[in-house]
Amino acid sequence: MQAIILAAGMGKRLGELTRENTKCMVKVGGVSLIERALKILDKKGLSRIIIVAGYQRENLMSFVKTLDIHTPIQFIINDVYDKTNNIFSLSMAKDYLVSEDTLLLESDLIFEECLIDLLLNDERDTLALVDKFESWMDGSCIVVDEMDNMTDFIPGKLLKFSDKEHYYKTVNIYKFGAEFSSQVYVPFLEAYTKAMGDNEYYETVINLILRLNRRTIKAERLSGQLWYEIDDIQDLDNAETLFMEDDVARYRKMKKCKGGYWRFPHLLDYSNPVNAYFPNERMIDEITSNLGVLMRQYPSGNKANNLLAEKSFEIRQENVMIGNGATELLGSLLKKTDGKVGFVGTAWEESLMCCKKEWVQYNPVEEDFQPDIEKWMHFFADKEVGSIVISNPDNLTGQGIKIADVEKILDWCGKRNIRLIVDESLMDFADKEKMSVLHQEMLMKNPELYVIKSLSKSYGVPGLQIGILAGGNQAVIDALKDEKTAWNINAVAEFFLQILDKYKADYARALIQVKEARENLYESLCTIPELKAYASCANYFMCELKNGEKSEILAGKLLKKNILIRDLTGAIQNGKQYIQVTVRNEQENRRFINALKECVSCRNVDA
């Protein structure tokens, strides 16, 4: 068994990184792609490794010679790399290809060693590594039947994304048997290049072979093993995150992403409290069917969208405005507030960033995080605050405040000319009738009461970034509306609000499902002796670690299992270790609990 690595390309999409080096010299975690690949292959007892080089070949060849690789390495030089494609590079290695069994791989890949082992340990002589097609992938795809036959080979430009659930992506790592190469692939390769020229891809030859004999090449399916193809700087950044060896460093980098986790398709996001049961498939289908029109037209102006807010939340349009998420609306409101801003509990980093004023914070740690409004009011009495922001339910613990207590705070604030801002983004998961103040009558009765609500979390659409702000002081609401651009939300978000009324019954059922899943998850968390789970009326739980392990280390271990949680220790800062986990669907929660039990039982108290 030998290996052939195609490494002649220029990698133009990587910009400055490939100005003086070939693409395979790009580093991930301080190690170049070619070094990673060679060190993996060097362990496999291969007879030789052939590298087809072209662009910046002198640098590549000099670098490879510095590596401690024991397997013999031979170079083939493609002098016309800038006028040909990889079919020509592989043609140059065809004599090697027919001489013995071959591992064929491209040089712009980063992959786990186990991918090579899958091919070597499989008795079948000709295989293509494939993985389920995901959003970040491009290039050729295939369809695979139950017998691992590759029944169709689809070039990237011909993909039908509506059929993506049936697609597999070729990883561009193959095992070619010598007999297959000599009797099938190389003859087809020679005939194809003679007819079509050298500026083609070698995969097109595979496509041609499959069309004539679908049983020639079998698919070896991946099941969560890591790999990434690096074509541009975004790919490189994602690969850096995926292949970090330090679990805590990887968690810190992932946390800084804030989102975009669709780029990591195997990841379960337990860090963002999003409704796992809504929108349902029918609503998604309706939005998808209208996406082409929505993308090609401007959204309505703010007046039309404020009417949608009135229809959805039964707040008169003059008292409500819609915005690009709750954080943006909070920032706009705080700009029109005199004095300091008071936060009850630990505010999210995003909320503090949007607060351009001096702020003070009351953290109810001493009360074991139980809401105690008397202590809140006593704390803020001499702080010269012009507004107080509370989250109901609390954005860390999920603890809720009843309407009667909110009214007490309102009365206290009113006597001191303090504006009360209540964030009800997670209210729908709680006992809304007993807790919410998002009512027209309540707003008119309390002109300095403002309610903010993000639809991202409760309605399960964080990608749409929709929020509303309601208040009884029409002059303030009007002033805020005047400052906004004509189009404050995009057309897809507008359409979501337009059709939301049709799905109210589905939404109500989804909330019941969340509450049932929440109860079951809480019971499971309480069976883990290393944790103290706090009861919650939101769709997440705060847990204290009782085994002496640092929360960030636990977060890193879970991330290694493709589960992302939120580390709260830095936010609370009381000398104890805390995490927050979201309620997802029952199947995902079972997977999470099993992983959590395994991780907390392996205690690691090192920093």
467: exposed, middle or buried (C-beta count within 10 Å: 0-12, 13-18, 19+)? buried
Q: Which residues of 549-564 are buried (b: 16+ CB within 10 A; e: fewer)?
A: bbbbbbbbbbbebbbb
Q: What is the pLDDT of residues 83-138, one digit of tens each?
A: 999 999 999 999 999 999 999 999 999 999 999 999 999 999 999 999 999 877 87
Q: What is the pLDDT of residues 234-267, one digit of tens each?
A: 999 999 999 998 999 999 999 998 899 988 888 9
Same domain, 314 and 441: yes
Q: Are the beta carbons of 31 and 69 closer than 8 angstroms?
A: no
Q: What is the pLDDT of residues 429-485, one digit of tens each?
A: 998 888 999 999 999 999 999 999 999 999 999 999 999 999 999 999 999 998 887
CATH number for the domain harbouring residue 262: 3.90.1150.10
Cα–Cα distance measured from residue 373 to residue 502, given in angstroms and rounded to the nearest whole number: 39
Same domain, 121 and 44: yes
Q: What is the pLDDT of residues 324-365, one digit of tens each?
A: 988 889 989 998 888 899 998 766 666 666 666 788 888 776
Query: Interior CA angle at 560 toward 554 and 562, to 5°?
Result: 105
In this predicted model, which residue has the larger pLDDT, 598 or 140? 598
Same domain, 211 and 260: no
pLDDT value at 173 more than 90: yes
Same domain, 470 and 335: yes
pTM for the whole structure: 0.89
Last residue of a domain, one of 432, 458, 489: 489
Name the amino acid, one letter, at 467: G
Q: Measured on CA atoms in the order 56, 62, 66, 72, is the torsion positive or negative? A: positive
Domain residues for the domain of 414 are 300-489
SS3 289: helix
- Residue 293 belongs to a domain: no
Same domain, 21 and 169: yes
Cα separations in angstroms, 223 against 80, 226, 227: 38, 9, 11
Residue 393: name the closest of 552, 545, 258, 518 by CA: 518
Q: Are the beta carbons of 76 and 44 closer than 8 angstroms?
A: no
- Residue 187 belongs to a domain: yes
Per-residue three-class SS string for 193-261: HHHHCCCCCCHHHHHHHHHHCCCCCEEEECCCCCEEECCCHHHHHHHHHHCCCCHHHHHHHHHHCCCCH
SS3 172: strand
Percent of the chain with pLDDT over 90: 75
Hey, how many other C-beta atoms are within 10 angstroms of the C-beta on 99? Answer: 14
| pLDDT band, very low/low/confident/very high, at 381 (cuts 50, 70, 90) | very high
- Residue 500 belongs to a domain: no
Q: What is the pLDDT of residues 54-66, one digit of tens each?
A: 999 999 999 999 9
Last residue of a domain, one of 464, 489, 514: 489
- With a CB cutoff of 8 Å and minimum separation 6, the contacts of 191 are none
- Residue 606 belongs to a domain: no
CATH number for the domain harbouring residue 120: 3.90.550.10
- Residue 60 belongs to a domain: yes
Same domain, 14 and 140: yes
- Residue 99 belongs to a domain: yes
The reported pLDDT for the residue numbered 348 is 61
- With a CB cutoff of 8 Å and minimum separation 6, the contacts of 572 are 346, 363, 365, 396, 578
Same domain, 430 and 366: yes
Q: In what helix (H) or strand (E) does residue 440 lie, and over which residues does it extend?
A: helix 440-445
Same domain, 448 and 470: yes
The reported pLDDT for the residue numbered 607 is 42
CATH number for the domain harbouring residue 315: 3.40.640.10
- Residue 197 belongs to a domain: yes
Locate tokens 């297959």: which residue? Answer: 180
In this predicted model, which residue has the larger pLDDT, 604 or 601? 601
Locate tokens 């290393």: which residue? Answer: 530
Cα–Cα distance measured from residue 230 to residue 242, given in angstroms and rounded to the nearest whole number: 12
- Residue 498 belongs to a domain: no
The reported pLDDT for the residue numbered 216 is 84
User: Torsion angle of alpha carbons 245, 250, 253, 255, nearest 10°?
Assistant: 170
Q: What is the pLDDT of residues 479-537, one digit of tens each?
A: 999 888 778 899 999 999 999 999 999 999 999 999 999 999 999 999 999 999 999 99
Last residue of a domain, one of 424, 454, 489: 489
For 561, the token pair is 């299992």
Q: Are the beta carbons of 75 and 57 closer than 8 angstroms?
A: yes
Q: What is the pLDDT of residues 542-593, one digit of tens each?
A: 999 999 999 999 999 999 999 999 999 988 888 899 999 999 999 999 999 9
SS3 408: helix
Q: What is the pLDDT of residues 136-163, one digit of tens each?
A: 787 778 899 999 998 888 877 788 888 8
State the total domains in the chain.
3
Cα separations in angstroms, 551 against 198, 330, 524, 532, 543: 55, 30, 19, 13, 10
Same domain, 536 and 467: no
Same domain, 432 and 478: yes
Per-residue three-class SS string for 15-43: HHHHCCCCHHHCEECCEEHHHHHHHHHCC
Locate tokens 């007819």: which residue? Answer: 195
Cα–Cα distance measured from residue 220 to residue 126, given in angstroms and rounded to the nearest whole number: 10
Cα–Cα distance measured from residue 598 to residue 1, given in angstroms and rounded to the nearest whole number: 39
| pLDDT band, very low/low/confident/very high, at 606 (cuts 50, 70, 90) | very low
Query: Interior CA angle at 254 toward 248 and 258, to 5°?
Result: 140
Locate tokens 């790592």: which residue? Answer: 173
Same domain, 510 and 460: no
Same domain, 394 and 368: yes
β strands within 46-163, DSSP E: 49-53, 73-77, 102-106, 109-111, 127-132, 141-144, 150-154
- With a CB cutoff of 8 Å and minimum separation 6, the contacts of 530 are 545, 546, 547, 549, 600, 601, 603
Strands 359-362 and 340-344: parallel
